[in-house]
Amino acid sequence: MATTDTIVAIATAPGDAAIAVTRLSGADAVAIAARCFRGARDPLESGSHRILFGSFVVGADAGGRMATSTGATAPAATPLDTVLLSIFLSPHSYTGEDIVEISSHGGPAVPRVILETLIGAGARPARPGEFTERAYRNGKLDLAQAEAVASIVRARSERSLRAAHATLGGDLSRRIEALDAELVGLLAEVESRLDFPGDVRESADVAAFAARCDASAAALREWIARLPSARRREEGVRVAILGAPNVGKSSLLNALLGYDRAIVDESPGTTRDTIEASIWLDGMEIRLTDTAGLRQATDPVERLGVERTERAAAAADLTILVRDCTRRDAGAAESQRLMGATKGPVIVAWNKSDLERRGPATTAAAEVETVAVRPGGVDTLVAALRAALPRVLGESVAVDLPATSARQEALLIDAAAALERAAGQLRVEDPESVAYDLAAVDLTEARRALGETVGRGVDDAVVAAIFARFCVGK
Ligand code: GDP
């Protein structure tokens, strides 16, 4: 894989924005930028500036060079934007190569023109994750840290951001190294006994080895067990808003969001599609899905909406079941059916509690009364959501885990299983029958799996697959 060419990508999200950043990395980064930007005072030269304002001039002269500030510019070279160039010279940069970061105005046009001009001047469009891949290949980050970069971008809560930062800072790598150091010691002991398997004096040691394997496996299992809640923190908590048509689901969503995101209508069945929007609660992204009404749908479009509703219900970590205070006895059967489709806690919101109540009043613990159309009318619901969060996240242990990717989780599971097998080989009644050779194989396998979490012994295809999941410009 050639890593000598100079790559370029827009690093910021597309769309209207005040600022966009385009990134160039490679041996020719400064030279290529120098062909495309004219300095405010001086021409841009390698090593001469760290940060530079310049007016960006589109179109180079015939020789591929930009006219300097004093010389005449080519006819096409009309300044299009004034940009800030931040220059990081190798090895003091993210990738370890020369980097030029171009901060320009945002929006669809400016960064595109900059990108195309830089490509015209000799840069190659970067593949997804290629900047971070170069950082990895140049020894700036290990694989666990590189994956943490993706987690930082994806993080949907303060805690998962902290976890990703911890991994970027080397927390996961240090945990793995500590576990590995223990396994290296164990493996040395086990291998030293390969030649004297039946040594009776060693039987007490064997039990201790088995216990050490068990202890390491248990530490891994505890880590693995807490990953689903850590992942939920990374992905945000998914909340489905369910209920019969016209009970006020869209109004509740709007009230929670504090602005009109969903279309509210008086006729039943108006919210045909699911609508997603997020609120931020206690440092955590709450991803709300407003669903179509759940009555028997007759027309095909509405039926589609109902199917989506059922899917949203099944995928949600938490459900808000909205019911109508004015028709308390209505929709009980439907509600029951719905509850069957959900997993996780259900909060029943008795909405329209400002109106005359009809039907039996049953307000149980997980039930709140709301007025979607009145300021402060959903405070009870927000409080109930907040109270339900710890249960959804399963946060009984306060200690933060370093961010762990799905790839790393699978490897941790492999390592734990191998350690449990090793313990099994060592835990035998008769010391003479201890299969040290098999235990050594299992310990080696555990070390391999642990090592791969931080990139040891990982082949190129795996590395490429990891970076392919990154966004372009990262
Ligand atoms: P959905 O079909 O369940 O999404 O229900 P909507 O949010 O579209 O609301 C249906 C109707 O009930 C609208 O006219 C809302 O203004 C009204 N509505 C919703 N919540 C309340 C409430 O708490 N009190 C009163 N009085 N009206 C409400």
For 115, the 3-state DSSP assignment is helix
Determine the distance separating the centroid of ligand 1 and the alpha carbon of 268, expressed in angstroms: 10
Determine the distance separating the centroid of ligand 1 and the alpha carbon of 375, expressed in angstroms: 14
97 closest CA partner among 32, 37, 158: 32
pLDDT > 50? residue 266: no
421 closest CA partner among 388, 444, 397, 452: 444
- Please choose from 242, 249, 253, 264 the residue to mutate so as to test ligand 1's pocket, defined by most ligand atoms within 8 A of CB: 264
Give the H or E element holding residue 445. helix 436-453
Task: Name beta bridge partners: 100.
Answer: 24, 87
Query: What global pTM score does this model have?
Result: 0.63
pLDDT the model gives residue 61: 43
Higher pLDDT, 439 or 206: 439
Cα–Cα distance measured from residue 191 to residue 440, given in angstroms and rounded to the nearest whole number: 7
pLDDT > 50? residue 204: yes
Give the residue-averaged pLDDT of 221-241: 83
Higher pLDDT, 266 or 25: 25
Q: What mean pLDDT, rounded, does the chain reach?
A: 79
pLDDT > 70? residue 470: yes
Give the H or E element holding residue 83. strand 79-88
pLDDT the model gives residue 352: 92
Residue nearest to atom 17 of ligand 1 (CA): 248
Q: Which atom of ligand 1 is nearest to the CA of 370?
A: 23
Torsion of CA 243, 246, 247, 251, to 10 degrees: 100
Q: Which atom of ligand 1 is nearest to the CA of 266?
A: 14
pLDDT > 90? residue 96: yes
The residue count of the chain comes to 474
Give the residue-averaged pLDDT of 116-124: 90
pLDDT the model gives residue 74: 37
Q: Which atom of ligand 1 is nearest to the CA of 254?
A: 7
Task: Tell me what percent of the residues of the chain surpass a pLDDT of 90.
Answer: 24
Classify burial at 267, counting beta carbons within 10 Å of its beta carbon; exposed 0-12, middle 13-18, buried 19 or more.
Answer: exposed
Q: Could you report the per-residue pLDDT of 437-450, keeping only the tens digit for each? A: 899 999 999 999 99
Q: Could you report the per-residue pLDDT of 409-422, keeping only the tens digit for each? A: 999 999 999 999 99
pLDDT > 60? residue 2: no
Band (62; pLDDT cuts 50, 70, 90): very low
Bond into 197 cis (ω within 30): no
Q: Which atom of ligand 1 is nearest to the CA of 270?
A: 2
pLDDT > 80? residue 401: no
pLDDT the model gives residue 134: 93
Higher pLDDT, 1 or 180: 180
Residue nearest to atom 9 of ligand 1 (CA): 248
Determine the distance separating the centroid of ligand 1 and the alpha carbon of 334, expressed in angstroms: 19
